[in-house]
Amino acid sequence: MTTDSYTALAFYVIAGLMVVGALGIVLLPRVVHAALAMVFVFFLISGIYVLLGADFIAATQIIIYVGAITVLFLFAIMLTNRSYAPDSNPANSQWMAATGVAVLTFGSLAALVSQANIPQSSDVSAGLGDVTLALGQLLMGPYIIPFEIAGVLLLAAMIGAIVIAKES
Amino acid sequence: MPITLTHYLVLSALIFSIGLFGVLAKRNVVAILMCVEVMMNAVNIALVAISHYRLVPAGNLVSGLNGQVLTLFVITVSAAEASVALAIILAIYRGRRTVNVDEVNLMKW
């Protein structure tokens, strides 16, 4: 097998498992299980990033989503009531309309991207040097203002979360 | 058949649509928030894929990485959003003893 077919195999395995996991998030009856399915999906998305040569983003995905955000969600689930009840992840009365909207959205998006003529560079894997180094130089160079604003945003979110969640 | 940009974009659209279904159809607000996170991740897949497949070939790595930088900012914003939203959920639960969105109808006309 060539490298191309290995990549194709990895892509199809990851994509299939990811769709199963995403369906698990919306269909599993217990909200704790839905959160665990979400962890599964986040892991697989990090695998997609590795396939795309984005090593740093893959590591960031694991640390922030699988590590931090998942713990946050599990805390929120455990702190609210009946988190392990068999009906803790119910659908509302509009689930049929929601199905229609989701199917239509996927249909139009898929039709759009399959018909779009996106110019691609032919040699996509060559010349991919130290991506992490280049990312750091970008963040400290042309993107320094958004980078600093992101820091301020995180501080504001932290203070806001403490103020909102504090018992008055 | 080699994997092309279209494959990644269709996968992204599929995950996005599943997340959209969850946002519209779930009753538990924590589940809705999880589906919002899944939608953001679907967009991130599209960003990284486009950034990868449109790398400028002449050794110009930097201009091919703008999508990855944008993905980093999306991850940052979604972390901030998740922490504030979960704090709001806890505040709602403390006051109303429920996390179901159809029972939190104080602002419904």
Give phi and psi for B26, each to the nearest 5. -90, 155
- CB contacts of B48 in chain A (<8 Å) are 48-49, 52, 54, 57
CATH of domain A1-88: 1.20.120.1200
Note the pLDDT of residue A43. Answer: 94
Contact criterion met (CB < 8 Å) for A68 and B31: no
Q: Which CATH architecture has domain B5-96?
A: Orthogonal Bundle (1.10)
Summarize the confidence of residues B96-109 as an average pLDDT. 80
Contact criterion met (CB < 8 Å) for A45 and B41: yes
Q: Around A99, how many Cα atoms within 13 Å sit in the side-chain half-sphere? A: 8
Of the partner residues B25, B55, B89, the one whose CB lies closest to the CB of residue A76: B89
The rounded distance, in Å, linking the Cα atoms of B64 and B61 is 5
Residue B55 Cα to chain centre, angstroms: 24
Note the pLDDT of residue A152. Answer: 96
Residue A66 Cα to chain centre, angstroms: 10
- Nearest CA to A49 among B108, B4, B45? B45
Domain regions of chain A by residue span: 1-88, 128-168
Summarize the confidence of residues B24-42 as an average pLDDT. 92
Kindly identify which residue of chain A lies nearest to residue B102, measuring between CA atoms: A92
Note the pLDDT of residue A104. Answer: 95
The rounded distance, in Å, linking the Cα atoms of A99 and A108 is 14
Contact criterion met (CB < 8 Å) for B11 and A18: yes
| Interchain contact B92–A (C-beta under 8 A) | no
| Beta bridge mates, B56 | B60
Look at residue B60 and tell me whether its pLDDT is greater than 60.
no
Confidence of residue A120 (pLDDT cuts 50, 70, 90): low
Q: What percent of chain B has pLDDT over 70?
A: 88
Q: What is the DSSP letter of A120?
A: -
- CB contacts of B24 in chain A (<8 Å) are 94-95, 97-98, 101-102
Confidence of residue A119 (pLDDT cuts 50, 70, 90): low
CA distance A99 to chain B (A): 6
Domain regions of chain B by residue span: 5-96
Note the pLDDT of residue A129. Answer: 66
The rounded distance, in Å, linking the Cα atoms of A32 and A43 is 17
- Tally helices (H) and strands (E) across chain A: 7, 0
Question: How many contacts does A have with B, using Cβ atoms within 8 A?
Answer: 252
Summarize the confidence of residues A141-156 as an average pLDDT. 93
Cβ atoms within 10 Å, residue A27: 16
Please report the ipTM that was assigned to this predicted complex.
0.89
Record the pTM.
0.89
Residues with Cβ < 8 Å from A24, sequence gap 6 or more? A33, A34, A37, A40
- Nearest CA to B38 among A69, A2, A132, A93? A69
**Residue B79 burial class via C-beta count within 10 angstroms: exposed 0-12, middle 13-18, buried 19 and up:** buried
| Interchain contact B62–A (C-beta under 8 A) | yes
A64-106 tens-digit pLDDT: 999 899 999 998 888 886 666 777 777 778 888 999 999 999 9
| Interchain contact B74–A (C-beta under 8 A) | no
A22-78 tens-digit pLDDT: 999 998 888 889 999 999 999 999 999 998 888 899 999 999 999 899 999 998 888
Look at residue B86 and tell me whether its pLDDT is greater than 80.
yes
Note the pLDDT of residue B62. Answer: 54
Q: What is the DSSP letter of A28?
A: -
CA distance A76 to chain B (A): 6
Q: Computed from CA positions of residues A107, B101, B98, A163, in that sequence, does the dihedral angle turn out positive or negative?
A: positive
- CB contacts of A155 in chain B (<8 Å) are none
| Interchain contact B52–A (C-beta under 8 A) | yes
- pLDDT greater at residue B1 or residue B6: B6
Placement of tokens 């659908």 in the chain = A91
User: Maximum CA pair distance of chain B?
Assistant: 60
Contact criterion met (CB < 8 Å) for B102 and A60: no
Note the pLDDT of residue A128. Answer: 58
